[in-house]
């Protein structure tokens, strides 16, 4: 009797990179490993999409479309190259209009994709209809998804077999075209028995011959058991990764699953252990200089209590390291349970996982529910679709008050279509204003990545890759006695008086803004006294980050609650507002400056 063929998708170069390095791996560094994977006989790859779209523009100064083209050239025309999309969000963190959803499918087809795995974190089938139709329209295979997780203990109302059956029936009844069905657990928290019953239910419900897959992560320590349960229940395909980006927050290792199924009636893609060993050796060599976050290699027993997906976990810890916040990580994870419960049980997968993390961070840093992360707030208010259960009414009230938005029951796609800022015309005009070439690729990059996309297209993108060799050089420079401050704005105290000082490296022009608003160019730094006596008030950054936009100017009158400037921190825009009415005496930072928690950014009189 022939063994059952199980299709293996190698997630190394998409989800593996995202789960371990926050997506920050340069293409020239890993392409030799793609060659090795091809030699090992792998023909199905997850190679792009999801957070590995934005991360190239945000952190790598690389073009995702170029990466996709080069990947396709290496593996040849017959390989099944798969990407990840988020329904009406596609590869964006916000919802897209019909024009942008169509352009996403068109561009990904043009640049080498074969299949798009398409999910909605809320399991709102309405969010899958148009995106699925456009994926199929442009000649791509559409893998439609039901997202999974286990709820934290004591939480009820969704994420049961019955809930998944209801969602699957809605998909089947909707008429959405699809070529395969995937159950996706990004946090790896679904217990194996539920996985077995869910796959068994689906196998009985879907048409005979339908390709059925399971995707999970090792984060909670049950991924191999979950895959074995799924195989027993009749699944046709599973996702695996190669060492060193397997296990931990990523997918189970290919070799691990080959071992786990030894002697059983399954053929995992015809893969041979010796060839996979050679592939993994090449990959380890390619990634040897990359800093491996310790949390990426660990199984965490607390993840079921605070479901944080592997792909988001290391992306967030990378940002926390960048912002000096890693000491807060345990508190943020602990705060996740309440945030998930009161948010309506959307599956902890991007973008909802990021909303959960941002809100948990806010609750830790600023006190419970004193600040609402925009994404989380818009989710509980209904702007991303219908949550599996109704969010907590009090949180809905707070979110509406903080964001100045009413709750809505309109479809997310209809809301996005009515938003002029999400039209192609808006982004074409933006490219024209910036004197950037008008191509469909550039339009989509700008629309998906906003200002960071524009910066990339202007050649100003940020390079932020954690390599061991670079980190050693930085440490050596520090140890050689260099005590110079980095460029930026600093607050210093001289003889009991505060001064706002700008520091820059080299012989550069410096803009000095006086309290009366006058600007002196190419001037020597002249500290301006800032007193905190009387009615003057220091306004401080609540979180570390960078200055995204300065809204108010020195000398300007503001009312209580008016936005003075906006910080960007942990993928959030943080409004710095006037705590009372008054006159802006000084702005102590400049656009793009890095700030630390508690740093004075403005003075109000």
Provide, rounded to the nearest whole percent, the portion of the chain with pLDDT above 70.
Answer: 88
pLDDT at 474: 78
pLDDT at 256 exceeding the cut of 70: yes
pLDDT at 251 exceeding the cut of 60: yes
pLDDT at 365 exceeding the cut of 70: yes
Most confidently modeled range among 159-168, 288-297, 368-377: 159-168
pLDDT at 511: 42
Residues 263-267: what's their mean pLDDT? 96
Residues 211-239: what's their mean pLDDT? 97
Distance CA 40, CA 82 (A): 18
**Range in 33-47, 156-170, 373-387, 568-582 with the lowest mean pLDDT:** 568-582
Distance CA 442, CA 65 (A): 10
Residues 333-362: what's their mean pLDDT? 89
pLDDT at 64 exceeding the cut of 70: yes
Provide, rounded to the nearest whole percent, the portion of the chain with pLDDT above 90.
Answer: 68
- The secondary structure of residue 581, as a DSSP letter, is S
pLDDT at 519: 38
**Range in 285-289, 296-300, 451-455, 601-605 with the lowest mean pLDDT:** 296-300
Residues 563-583: what's their mean pLDDT? 80
pLDDT at 502 exceeding the cut of 90: no
pLDDT in tens, 293-337: 887 888 888 778 777 665 556 666 667 777 777 888 888 888 888
pLDDT at 129 exceeding the cut of 80: yes
Residues 78-107: what's their mean pLDDT? 96
Among residues 385, 331, 383, the alpha carbon closest in space to that of 360 is found at 331
Helix axes 440-457, 424-433, angle to 10 degrees: 40
pLDDT at 584: 93
133 against 307, higher pLDDT: 133
Apex 273 CA angle, 267 and 276, nearest 5: 105
pLDDT at 245 exceeding the cut of 60: yes
pLDDT at 571: 58
Going by DSSP bridges, is the β-strand pair 572-577/557-558 parallel, antiparallel, or unpaired?
Answer: unpaired
Sign of CA dihedral 166, 169, 174, 180: positive
Name the pLDDT band for 534 (thresholds 50, 70, 90): low
Is the distance from CB of 340 to CB of 373 less than 8 angstroms? no
Residues 374-398: what's their mean pLDDT? 96
pTM of the model: 0.83
Residues 183-192: what's their mean pLDDT? 95
Distance CA 53, CA 453 (A): 11
pLDDT at 266: 97
pLDDT at 201 exceeding the cut of 60: yes
pLDDT at 481: 56
Apex 117 CA angle, 189 and 76, nearest 5: 120
pLDDT at 73: 98
pLDDT at 485 exceeding the cut of 80: no
**Range in 8-12, 48-52, 363-367 with the lowest mean pLDDT:** 363-367
545 against 425, higher pLDDT: 425
Name the pLDDT band for 563 (thresholds 50, 70, 90): confident
Residues 41-65: what's their mean pLDDT? 97
Distance CA 483, CA 478 (A): 7
pLDDT at 570: 57
> In whole angstroms, how far apart are CA 156 and each of 168, 278, 515?
20, 46, 56
pLDDT at 591: 83
Helix axes 374-381, 352-366, angle to 10 degrees: 120
Structure-token pair, residue 482:
């260099």
**Range in 305-309, 326-330, 345-349, 396-400 with the lowest mean pLDDT:** 305-309
Name the pLDDT band for 471 (thresholds 50, 70, 90): confident
What average pLDDT does the chain have?
88
Apex 191 CA angle, 164 and 208, nearest 5: 45
pLDDT at 477: 75
Going by DSSP bridges, is the β-strand pair 180-184/211-215 parallel, antiparallel, or unpaired?
Answer: parallel
pLDDT at 483 exceeding the cut of 80: no
Distance CA 18, CA 16 (A): 5
Is the distance from CB of 128 to CB of 384 less than 8 angstroms? no
Distance CA 101, CA 134 (A): 7
Distance CA 305, CA 348 (A): 12
pLDDT at 311: 55
Among residues 46, 61, 60, the alpha carbon closest in space to that of 15 is found at 46
CB count in 10 Å sphere of residue 89:
26
pLDDT at 428: 98
Sign of CA dihedral 310, 312, 317, 318: positive
Name the pLDDT band for 498 (thresholds 50, 70, 90): very low
pLDDT at 109: 98
480 against 18, higher pLDDT: 18
């Amino acid at each position: 009797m022939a063994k059952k063929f199980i299709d293996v998708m190698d997630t190394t170069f998409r989800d593996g990179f995202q789960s371990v390095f926050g997506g920050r791996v340069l293409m020239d560094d890993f392409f030799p490993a793609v060659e090795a994977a091809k030699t090992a006989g792998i023909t199905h790859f997850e190679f792009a999409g999801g957070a590995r779209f934005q991360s190239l523009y945000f952190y790598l100064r690389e073009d995702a479309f170029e990466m996709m083209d080069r990947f396709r050239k290496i593996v040849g025309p017959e390989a099944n190259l798969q990407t990840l999309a988020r329904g009406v969000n596609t590869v964006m963190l916000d919802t897209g209009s019909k024009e942008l959803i169509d352009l996403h499918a068109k561009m990904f087809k043009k640049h080498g994709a074969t299949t798009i795995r398409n999910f909605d974190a809320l399991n709102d089938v309405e969010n899958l209809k148009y995106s699925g139709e456009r994926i199929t329209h442009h000649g791509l295979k559409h893998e439609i998804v039901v997202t999974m997780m286990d709820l934290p203990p004591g939480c009820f109302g969704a994420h049961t077999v019955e809930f998944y059956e209801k969602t699957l029936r809605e998909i089947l009844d909707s008429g959405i075209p699809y070529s395969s069905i995937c159950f996706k657990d990004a946090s790896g928290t679904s217990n194996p028995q539920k996985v077995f019953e869910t796959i068994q239910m689906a196998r009985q419900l879907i048409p005979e011959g339908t390709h059925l897959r399971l995707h999970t992560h090792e984060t909670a320590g049950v991924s191999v058991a979950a895959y074995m349960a799924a195989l027993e229940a009749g699944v046709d395909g599973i996702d695996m990764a190669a060492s060193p980006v397997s296990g931990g927050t990523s997918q189970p290792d290919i070799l691990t699953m080959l071992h786990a199924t030894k002697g059983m009636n399954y053929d995992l893609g015809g893969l041979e252990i010796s060839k996979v060993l050679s592939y993994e050796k090449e990959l380890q060599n390619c990634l040897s200089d990359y800093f491996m976050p310790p949390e990426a290699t660990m199984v965490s027993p607390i993840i079921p209590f605070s479901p944080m997906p592997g792909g988001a976990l290391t992306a967030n810890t990378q940002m926390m390291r960048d912002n000096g916040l890693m000491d807060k990580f345990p508190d943020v994870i602990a705060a996740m349970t309440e945030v998930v419960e009161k948010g309506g049980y959307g599956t902890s997968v991007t973008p909802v996982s990021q909303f959960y993390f941002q809100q948990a961070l806010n609750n830790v840093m600023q006190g419970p529910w004193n600040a609402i992360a925009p994404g989380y707030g818009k989710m509980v208010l209904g702007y991303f679709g219908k949550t599996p259960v109704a969010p907590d009414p009090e949180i809905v009230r707070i979110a509406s008050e903080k964001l100045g938005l009413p709750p809505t029951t309109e479809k997310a796609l209809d809301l996005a279509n009515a938003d002029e800022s999400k039209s192609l015309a808006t982004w074409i005009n933006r490219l024209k204003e910036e004197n950037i070439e008008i191509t469909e690729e550039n339009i989509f990059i700008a629309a998906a990545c906003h200002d960071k996309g524009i910066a990339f297209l202007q050649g100003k993108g940020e390079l932020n890759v954690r390599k061991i060799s670079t980190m050693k050089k930085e440490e050596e420079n520090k140890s050689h006695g260099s005590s110079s401050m980095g460029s930026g704005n600093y607050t210093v105290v001289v003889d009991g008086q505060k001064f706002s000082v700008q520091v820059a490296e080299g012989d550069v022009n410096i803009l000095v803004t006086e309290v009366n608003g006058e600007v002196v160019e190419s001037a020597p730094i002249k500290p301006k006294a800032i007193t905190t006596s009387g009615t003057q008030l220091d306004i401080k950054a609540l979180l570390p980050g960078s200055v995204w936009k300065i809204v108010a100017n020195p000398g300007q009158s503001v009312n209580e609650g008016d936005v003075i400037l906006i910080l960007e921190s942990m993928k959030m825009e943080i409004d710095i507002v006037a705590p009372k009415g008054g006159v802006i005496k000084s702005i102590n930072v400049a656009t793009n400056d890095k700030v630390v928690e508690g740093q004075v950014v403005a003075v109000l009189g």
